[in-house]
């Protein structure tokens, strides 16, 4: 007898950390993978959504410049109503849910509604931002205490309710969250109640992201600096002698691509390696997958080819996707990989070759340059006259390879192994970033990423692309971008993701 009772929903408060997606905890990632609904804040890094199911519902409940897009009571009601529908609801909050994040209020509301709740701590901004700024909050010779204070309030009162006399008398490190707009009052009160005017102070804006910037001074000088530099939220303020250690420790600001925001347009399943390469060099990757690979509309032609694999002289793979879908279908149809014995296997590049090797097949040829033209040149050294080749590839692709092989006298069967479509969910944050002019580089790893990117961004964002540097993995992709009116600046000599990231680094090193 099956259980027909509805699945009980639950709410999970997840701390997303202060900005860098790498600071999300493993437990937080696990809950994102399981979530049916994700209710997220303004400062949450959208890249984290790539861990979620593509069909998960996303609800923006952020706050910017003191104005909530959804009042707190309504946020509580969303969490409760979605969970009552039997859904796993992740409330994704910047920093840590219980450090000035109103997580306590949300947890109480959910508990009062009789629903189960879990809490996943996050790297709070005092810890994360201070570390990325190169400022230790404690040091055995300087500071043994840390006081974390909110520099804002929810009711917009003129003053913030702080016992200034006690705070000013403390000898350790003071950390003010959300205090950029109240900086003059914070400095005035601390000095009034006895804190030395020459006490070191640091204000870090957009900590742990590519936009991170830190200004240092003293309680007496920082307000003038803030007015001159137009320091605005989000910002973290650190006060104490530990600030003087920043020049000795700072590390993020010294990385070669620090301060650069780079858009990755390749599909989510292939983005991780590029994201990690960029992060290692100090850039902030923005995942904006413009394609998604899915099975072809019809397997018939591939299935037919799989029944006569031994009849082919060569099997040509033009992408890792082609390898994966080919092998997946081979397994699903009960075919035997041993049928490929004696069939030469060709790969258009090293990533494709690596995918082939992972399935236990040997690669007979990888061309020197990773484009169809180079593979044709390599095949020119063989006698292809009268020989039969199978090319499992995307439903829509360049025809130069099969056409040229036929001109050389070969028989060629081109079969769709997969197709590329628009993803079911895209980065809702990219349009705002383009409009704000905070995107430095957009990368393309295939011609299809170019066309899909332009389709998804639309004509309304086209003027904002004039301020962006475009980097393409190879000349064919670059030609497609130029044909669409984009100015391509960066094309590596070797057509790989590693070389593309290195070329971006070289571009900015040359400009330095």
Q: Among 210, 292, 209, 273, which Cα is nearest to 501's?
A: 273
∠206-212-217 over CA atoms, to 5°? 95
Q: Among 204, 200, 190, 177, which Cα is nearest to 94's?
A: 177
Count of positions (residues) in the chain: 512
Q: Which residue carries 């003087």 as its tokens?
A: 244
Distance from C-alpha of 9 to C-alpha of 30, rounded to nearest angstrom: 16
Backbone angles phi and psi of 471, in degrees to 5: -125, 125
Asked, as a colleague might, if the bond just before 234 is cis with ω within 30 of 0, I would say: yes
∠318-320-325 over CA atoms, to 5°? 100
Q: CB within 8 A of 355, min separation 6: which ones?
A: 317, 320, 323, 324
What is the per-residue DSSP string for 61-85? --EETTEESS-HHHHHHHHHHHHHT
Two structure tokens written together for 51 = 């861990």
Distance from C-alpha of 265 to C-alpha of 290, rounded to nearest angstrom: 6
Residue 286, sorted as left (phi over 0), alpha (psi -120 to 50) or beta, turns out to be beta
Catalytic residues: 41, 63, 178
The arrangement of strands across the sheet holding 284-287 comes to: 284-287, 261-264, 441-444, 469-472, 488-490
Q: Which residue carries 């952020």 as its tokens?
A: 62
CB contact at 8 A, 77 and 22: no
Q: CB within 8 A of 416, min separation 6: which ones?
A: 296, 297, 298, 301, 302, 392, 393, 394, 395
Two structure tokens written together for 394 = 């995307």
Two structure tokens written together for 431 = 């349009």
Two structure tokens written together for 44 = 């949450």
CB contact at 8 A, 293 and 369: no
Sign of CA dihedral 180, 184, 189, 190: positive
CA-to-CA separations, 169 to 163, 176, 238, in angstroms, rounded: 10, 16, 16
Pairing of strands 284-287, 261-264: parallel
* DSSP conformation class of 241: G
Two structure tokens written together for 121 = 């701590």
């Amino acid at each position: 007898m099956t259980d027909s009772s509805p699945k009980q929903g639950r709410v999970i408060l997840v701390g997303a950390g202060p900005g860098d997606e790498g600071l999300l905890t493993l437990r937080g990632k696990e809950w994102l993978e399981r979530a049916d609904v994700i209710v997220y804040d303004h400062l949450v890094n959208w890249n984290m959504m790539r861990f979620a199911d593509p069909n998960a519902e996303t609800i923006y409940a952020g706050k910017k410049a003191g104005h909530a897009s959804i009042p707190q009571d309504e946020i509580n009601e969303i969490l409760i109503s979605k969970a009552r529908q039997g859904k796993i609801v992740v409330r994704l909050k910047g920093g840590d849910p219980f450090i000035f994040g109103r997580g306590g209020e949300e947890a109480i509301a959910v508990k009062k509604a009789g629903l189960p709740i879990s809490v996943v701590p996050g790297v709070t901004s005092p810890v994360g931002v201070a570390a990325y700024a190169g400022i230790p909050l404690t040091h055995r010779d300087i500071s043994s205490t840390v006081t974390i204070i909110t520099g804002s309030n929810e009711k917009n009162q003129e003053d913030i309710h702080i016992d200034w006399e006690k705070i000013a008398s403390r000898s350790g490190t003071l950390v003010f969250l959300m205090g950029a707009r109240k900086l003059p009052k914070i400095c005035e009160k601390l000095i009034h109640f006895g804190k030395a005017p020459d006490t070191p102070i640091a204000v870090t804006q957009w900590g742990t992201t590519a936009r991170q910037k830190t200004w240092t001074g003293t309680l007496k000088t920082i307000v003038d600096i803030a007015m001159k530099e137009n320091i605005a939220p989000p910002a973290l303020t650190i006060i104490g002698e530990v600030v003087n250690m920043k020049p000795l420790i700072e590390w993020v600001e010294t990385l070669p691509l620090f301060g650069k925001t780079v858009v990755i347009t390749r599909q989510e399943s292939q983005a991780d390696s590029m994201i990690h390469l960029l992060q290692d060099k100090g850039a902030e990757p923005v995942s904006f997958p413009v394609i998604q690979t899915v099975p072809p509309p019809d397997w018939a032609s591939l299935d037919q080819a799989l029944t006569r694999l031994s009849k082919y002289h060569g099997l040509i793979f033009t992408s890792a996707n082609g390898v994966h879908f080919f092998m997946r279908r081979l397994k699903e149809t009960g075919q035997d990989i041993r049928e490929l014995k004696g069939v030469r296997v060709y790969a258009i590049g090293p990533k494709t070759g690596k995918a082939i090797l992972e399935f236990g097949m040997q690669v007979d040829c990888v061309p020197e340059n990773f484009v169809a033209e180079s593979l044709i040149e390599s095949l020119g050294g063989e006698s292809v006259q009268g020989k039969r080749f199978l090319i499992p590839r995307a439903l829509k692709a360049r025809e130069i390879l099969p056409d040229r092989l036929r001109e050389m006298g070969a028989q060629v069967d081109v079969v769709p192994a997969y197709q590329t479509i628009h993803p079911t969910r895209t980065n809702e944050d990219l349009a705002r970033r383009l409009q704000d002019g905070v995107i430095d580089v957009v990368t393309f790893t295939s011609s299809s990423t170019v066309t899909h990117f332009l389709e998804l961004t639309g004509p309304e964002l086209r003027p904002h692309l004039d301020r962006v540097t475009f980097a393409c993995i190879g000349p064919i992709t670059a030609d497609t971008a130029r044909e669409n009116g984009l100015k391509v600046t960066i094309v590596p000599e070797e057509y790989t993701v590693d070389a593309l990231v290195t070329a971006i680094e070289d571009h900015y090193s040359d400009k330095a």
